[in-house]
């Protein structure tokens, strides 16, 4: 199983050299979006391999030996055991695979910025592949969750992801009613959008964490953060240790992604209509 070209989950059929994760007998294992890192740089030493300046991704990258990585489009892979993640027993491969990207991207930021404490009120902007996972993690952490969207998905947010509130960002009255109610916001939107209205929803000392990837610049007024000591930050995926922690947490709390399983020859067709995440069965 794999999710698109990365986030690969499958069975280890042969182990050549025991390592941190491969000392046990062959079993179900997973492989995140990272294939290789320097190992001895400051970031790698701190278990933040995703920030390594020489990081090689699982797909469409040149490795140190000048070979190309093809990611999850391969039917068999030889992987570095140090980059393999142990998969929880009885945890579904198909619905769990996208967590190696969408899951760690949202989980990591909540943990690092202290948005994993019970009783917080967390906003999630967007209810797509990243957003629906962020909402599930926030609920598992014991937070009150409000989904913020440009379109009306209130019923879906409430019923499918147990959201406690829903705000349409284009509705001025709804945004004003939500002013200074949130301790943190996970912004998962990849389209260009205004940050100032989102910052208005934060309490003083609140944090807006951007994990979407708009192609164009996002504009930010200094006064929207300085007047109440608010923070705007961002990141991508996570290190190996926190990825393992995330998968273990998801397995314990049964946090999975909403997915559509497709054959590999349907990849180009499904990209236009997938709702949350698609998983290729290879």
Q: What is the DSSP string of 210-269?
A: E-S--SSPPP--THHHHTTT-EEEE--S--HHHHHHHHHHHHHHT----EEEE-GGGHHH
Beta bridge partner(s), residue 278: 260
The predicted pLDDT at position 66 comes to 82
The predicted pLDDT at position 271 comes to 62
The predicted pLDDT at position 179 comes to 97
Give this prediction's pTM: 0.89
The predicted pLDDT at position 250 comes to 98
Asked if residue 183 lies in contact with residue 119, where contact means CB atoms within 8 angstroms, the answer is no
Copy the structure tokens of residue 46. 């701190």
Q: Shortest CA distance to 113 belongs to which of 28, 13, 234, 9? A: 234
The predicted pLDDT at position 265 comes to 75
The predicted pLDDT at position 45 comes to 96
Instruction: Give the residue ranges of the chain where pLDDT is below 50.
Output: 22, 24-26
Q: What is the pLDDT of residues 212-260, one digit of tens each?
A: 989 899 989 999 999 999 999 999 899 999 999 999 999 999 999 988 7
Q: What is the pLDDT of residues 44-73, one digit of tens each?
A: 999 999 999 999 888 778 877 888 877 777
* Alpha-carbon Rg for the chain in angstroms: 19
């Amino acid at each position: 199983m794999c999710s698109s070209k990365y986030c690969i989950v499958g069975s280890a059929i042969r182990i050549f050299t025991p390592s941190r994760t491969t000392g046990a007998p062959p079993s179900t294992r997973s492989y995140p979006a990272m294939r290789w890192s320097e190992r001895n740089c400051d970031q790698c030493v701190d278990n933040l391999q995703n920030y390594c300046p020489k990081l090689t991704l699982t797909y469409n990258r040149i490795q140190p030996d000048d070979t190309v990585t093809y990611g999850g489009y391969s039917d068999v892979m030889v992987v570095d055991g140090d980059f393999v993640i142990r998969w929880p027993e009885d945890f579904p491969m198909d619905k769990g695979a996208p967590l190696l990207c969408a899951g760690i991207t949202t989980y990591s930021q909540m943990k690092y910025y202290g948005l994993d404490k019970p009783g917080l009120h967390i906003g999630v902007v967007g209810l797509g592949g990243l957003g629906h996972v962020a909402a599930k993690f926030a609920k598992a952490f014991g937070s009150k969750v409000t989904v913020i969207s440009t379109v009306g998905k209130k019923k879906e947010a409430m019923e499918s992801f147990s959201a406690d509130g829903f705000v349409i960002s284009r509705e001025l009255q709804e945004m004003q009613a939500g002013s200074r109610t949130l301790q943190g916001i996970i912004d998962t939107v990849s389209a260009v959008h205004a940050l100032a209205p989102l910052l208005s929803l934060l309490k003083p000392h609140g944090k807006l964490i951007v994990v979407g990837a708009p192609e164009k610049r996002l504009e930010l007024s200094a006064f929207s953060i300085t007047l109440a000591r608010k923070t705007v930050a961002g990141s991508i995926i996570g290190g190996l240790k926190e990825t393992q922690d995330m998968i273990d947490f998801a397995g314990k709390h049964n946090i999975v992604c909403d997915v559509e399983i497709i054959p590999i020859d349907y990849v180009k067709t499904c990209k236009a209509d997938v709702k949350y995440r698609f998983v290729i069965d290879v």
